Amino acid sequence: MHTVQQTIQEHEDCLFARICVNNELGLHARPAARIAQEAQKFRCELRLEVKGQEVDAKSILDILSLAAARGSEITLKSRGSDARAALEHMMQVFSCALDEDA
């Protein structure tokens, strides 16, 4: 189960939301692949930030480099024409599709 901040906030030129990773093994290969696959559906720039390290949410390798363990807080940022739709979709992905039993 994932805890997701339900609000999208604005800061300067981007939208962002904070998400907590609660699955047992963190963002290992399977959830990283799922996140990248879903992020690639949007034209906007999507970035993930953990403890000051920011990466491209459309890259599996970038996501894995975060080594986001259970309990990590991730800031999901988006910029571009479909930024809000992308954030809303990605929040759903984090809340539903990262279960390790899936």
Any idea which residues carry the catalytic annotation? 28
DSSP state string for 39-74: HTT-SSEEEEEETTEEEETT-HHHHHHT---TT-EE
Distance CA(67)–CA(1), nearest Å, equals 19
Question: In b/e form, how buried is each residue of 4-23, taking b as 16+ CB within 10 angstroms?
Answer: beeeeeeeeebbbbebebbb
What percent of the chain is helix, strand and coil (3-state, nearest 5)? 30, 30, 40
